[in-house]
């Protein structure tokens, strides 16, 4: 799959420079596509021998498979499934990696004022975004699902990795944060294997190491939230940085002329509305994936305030415009690496904050 077609599927996409002739540049960016965690991933390595480096690219796939086996909600045998089955009746000791993500989820719940909540699983199921089919639940069904949501219903001891639910009706879902963790661990595996230049991309959750041949940075395309073009802007990503985008376009259900996105506001029990795209840049893929969802839920004003108050990430927010021209809010510390595509200039206005 080419970088351009990949941009149609994910929030951010790798934009590769033209590959020079082999005589001029024996090392080149080679992308190894793979299917994992119920979606697609690309591992791009800068290499002179794509066949010899294939086993190193496969290290990332092994990490993805491990994280998926622990944290998916799509099987009955994952660690998360075990917790959901038992923690309402007894204390469950979690696998160390799952404990790390659960602990981070609870911290994020507190730091976001409840905009992120990993107990949102009943709501996601009620709307059919988990298990399907996608639908708009009745008001009564939505209220019953929302009544089961709230991380205050979870007790977790970091030291002992002990998890307990207030009742059997509580369910957790790590889908809003696990992909970023997987990318972080995959990049760590590549570094440990001696890889010097790479980009790991798990359905738009990306982490960069080194740079492509002849460049000082990776160029990342940010998806057009209206899907009119593959991407509407580009961002420069430097070694050791990560990026992710969350948007209303990823999954949705339409009914009676209305479109409802898959990102739930756990505080209201309804799909979040107000923003159509949130891109986060950080030194950690885990941080990017953790924050893109609650920032989307918080909306443009609170998201800007939260981003400015934190030094561990920077953001690009897209707010729909009533006049058909969307506003792109770009945080000032990354404004010099943000470029609006010329073809998108008439459809987006950029405001630095």
**Where do the structural domains in the chain lie, given as residue ranges?**
71-165
Place of tokens 């943000």: 338
171/76 Cα distance (integer angstroms): 13
User: In angstroms, what CA-CA distances link 84 with 77, 97, 103, 168, 332?
Assistant: 11, 16, 16, 8, 42
In this prediction, residue 275 carries a pLDDT of 95
> Phi-psi bin for 131: left (phi > 0), alpha (psi -120 to 50), beta?
left
289/294 Cα distance (integer angstroms): 10
Token representation of residue 171: 């369910």
Token representation of residue 49: 């021998």
User: Taking the C-alpha atoms of 298, 301, 302 and 304 in order, what is their torsion angle to the nearest 10 degrees?
Assistant: 110
| Helix, coil or strand: residue 78 | coil
CATH 1.10.3980.10 fits domain 71-165: yes
Helix axes 96-111, 178-192, angle to 10 degrees: 130
Dihedral of CA 89/125/69/202: which sign? negative
Place of tokens 């622990």: 70
Token representation of residue 291: 């924050």
On whether the CB atoms of residues 40 and 33 are closer than 8 A, the answer is: yes
Within 8 A by CB and 6+ apart from 348, the residues are 232, 233, 318, 325, 326, 327, 328, 340
Place of tokens 């697609």: 40
| Helix, coil or strand: residue 338 | strand
Token representation of residue 169: 């009706």
pLDDT, tens only, 135-191: 888 989 999 999 999 999 999 999 999 999 999 999 999 999 999 999 999 999 999
| Helix, coil or strand: residue 7 | coil
Q: Which helix (H) or strand (E) holds 48?
A: none
Torsions phi, psi for 57 (to 5 deg): -60, -35
Spans in the chain with pLDDT lower than 50: 1-10, 18-25
């Amino acid at each position: 799959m080419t970088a351009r077609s990949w941009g149609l599927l994910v929030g951010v996409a790798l934009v590769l420079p033209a590959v020079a002739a082999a005589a001029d540049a024996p090392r080149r960016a080679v992308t190894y596509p793979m299917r994992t965690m119920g979606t697609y991933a690309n591992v791009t390595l800068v290499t002179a021998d794509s066949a010899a480096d294939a086993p190193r690219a496969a290290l990332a796939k092994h990490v993805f498979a491990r994280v998926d086996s622990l944290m998916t909600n799509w099987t009955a045998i994952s660690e998360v499934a075990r917790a959901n089955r038992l923690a309402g009746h007894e204390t469950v000791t979690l696998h160390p990696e799952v404990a790390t993500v659960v602990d981070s989820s609870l911290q994020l719940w507190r730091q976001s004022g409840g905009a992120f909540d990993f107990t949102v699983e009943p709501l996601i199921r009620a709307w059919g975004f988990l298990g399907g089919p996608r639908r708009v639940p009745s008001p009564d069904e939505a209220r019953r699902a929302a009544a089961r949501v709230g991380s205050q219903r979870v007790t977790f001891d970091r030291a002992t990795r002990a998890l307990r639910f207030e009742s059997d009706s509580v369910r957790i879902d790590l889908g809003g944060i696990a992909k970023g963790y997987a990318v972080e661990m995959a990049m760590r595996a590549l570094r440990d294997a001696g890889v010097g230049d790479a980009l790991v991309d798990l359905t738009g959750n990306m982490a960069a190491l080194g740079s492509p041949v002849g460049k000082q940075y990776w160029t990342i395309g940010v998806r057009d939230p209206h899907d009119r073009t593959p991407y509407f802007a580009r961002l420069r990503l430097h070694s050791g940085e990560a990026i992710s985008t969350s948007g209303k376009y990823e999954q949705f259900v339409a009914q009676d002329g209305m479109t409802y996105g898959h990102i739930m506001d756990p505080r209201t029990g309804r799909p979040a509305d107000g923003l159509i795209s949130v891109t986060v840049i950080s030194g950690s893929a885990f941080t990017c994936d953790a924050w893109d969802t609650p920032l989307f839920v918080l909306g443009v004003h609170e998201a800007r305030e939260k981003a400015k108050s934190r030094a561990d990430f920077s953001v690009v927010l897209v707010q729909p415009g009533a006049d058909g021209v969307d506003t792109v809010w770009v945080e000032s510390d990354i404004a010099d690496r943000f470029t609006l595509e010329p073809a998108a200039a008439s459809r987006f206005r950029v405001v630095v904050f």
